[in-house]
Structure 1
Amino acid sequence: MPYEWITPTGPDAPTAELHLWPYRSLLRRDFVVFISATALLIVVPLLAVIGSPVLWGLLPFFMIAVWGIWYALQRSYKDGEILEELCIWPDRMTLIHTDPRKGVQTWEANPYWVHVKIDRKNERIVNYLTLKGADREVELGRFLSEDERAALYDDLTKALRNLS
């Protein structure tokens, strides 16, 4: 699961802490292998036209293709640096959403008044998970899959129940 519960230690540490992040299917070391294999597969057809003027006509398109794949994967890695931290104390609850493009967004409420809601029949997003408190409703784990949001809902309601 792309989230984990952490048991913090220390005098001012929260009772429970949850970290959420997007799933990564392609690791950095696999990125190098993938780009190398793609470049190699693109170069193989060019071997047939080495020494002819056709090579210079095809080469820019092959280079643009490799660059496009590299750029798309780098952008995907940048988008995947999203991190959500949910900290629960007996008297307050904070959510810090860190996005490399949008910056840091925070939300704070009293856990006694926080309602964890899941909309299982939402038309666009199945198992849409939100936290409502302090006159504001925030989305939690928008990058998680349907099953992961349902499991997170169960975990989060248990954690809040154990707090009270």
Structure 2
Amino acid sequence: MTPGNDFDEAAEPKLFTALLTPHRSLSRTGFLALMLFVGGVSFIAGIVFLMMGAWPVFGFFGLDVLAIWWAFRVSYRRAGDTEEITVTPTELRVRRVSHRGQVVEWVLNPLWVQLDHVTHEEFGIEQPFLVSRGRRVSIARFLGPDEKASFVKAFRAALQAAKRGPTYNPLT
């Protein structure tokens, strides 16, 4: 083979690429303001109970603030999760990276993949997943129902383009 005829995988066109990350509606400043508000309300309520002679209740109000802080800490840590989905004419790649750095990757043939989803009457698409050779891979878990519907529409179009095959223009 001559160098001009070498097959270059990097030259394969990407029909669809999505990098999905969890949405966090509360910023760090908002979190600080919320924790100050919850802490202040809990402290004032705890002082009221302390004045009434129910001193053990004061500690339980502190535990509530600690539980809320811990839940937000876990939520912010999980914000580092990502899911990258790429479709080319010959390959469908789903790559998940957890907040701990663990990588799970599936490489599928787009000709053998079907896109299926669970739909709820009231809420719309709940869970899209890929089906290939009897295996199911859940995708787009981070998205809301409207975003999932848009994602499914675009992804289905990319899968159909991959199944049609590449189109070559001899003029370019």
TM-score of Structure 1 vs Structure 2, range by shorter chain: 0.7 to 0.9
**Percent identity over the alignment?**
25
- What residue in structure 2 maps to residue 26 of structure 1? 26
Unaligned residue ranges in structure 1 (runs of 5+): 1-10
Structure of greater relative contact order (alpha carbons < 8 Å, 6+ residues apart)? 2
* Conserved 8 A contact 1:109-1:134: no
- What residue in structure 2 maps to residue 115 of structure 1? 114
Matches within 5 A, 1:127-142: 127-133=126-132, 136-142=135-141
Q: Rate the CA distance shift 1:108–1:134 in 2: closer, same or farther, 3 A.
A: farther
- What residue in structure 1 maps to residue 68 of structure 2? 69
- In the alignment, the residues of structure 1 paired with residue 108 and residue 64 of structure 2 have an alpha-carbon distance, to the nearest angstrom, of 48
Query: How far off is 1:132 after superposition?
Result: 2.4
Query: How far off is 1:113 after superposition?
Result: 2.6
TM norm structure 1:
0.72
| 2:58 equivalent to 1:59 | yes
Unaligned residue ranges in structure 2 (runs of 5+): 1-9, 166-172
- What residue in structure 1 maps to residue 158 of structure 2? 159
TM norm structure 2:
0.69
Give a deviation string over 1:32-78, Cα, whole Å, max 9, x none: 1110111112223455578x694854432222121111011112223
- What residue in structure 1 maps to residue 5 of structure 2? none
* Conserved 8 A contact 1:91-1:110: yes
Q: What is the identity, as a one-letter code, of the residue corresponding to 1:59?
A: F
Query: How far off is 1:101 after superposition?
Result: 6.3
Query: How far off is 1:135 after superposition?
Result: 5.4
Deviant stretches of 4+, over 6 Å: none
Aligned residues: 151
- What residue in structure 2 maps to residue 40 of structure 1? 40
- What residue in structure 2 maps to residue 106 of structure 1? 105
SS in 2 for 1:23: coil
Report the RMSD for the aligned CA atoms in angstroms: 3.2
- What residue in structure 2 maps to residue 92 of structure 1? 91
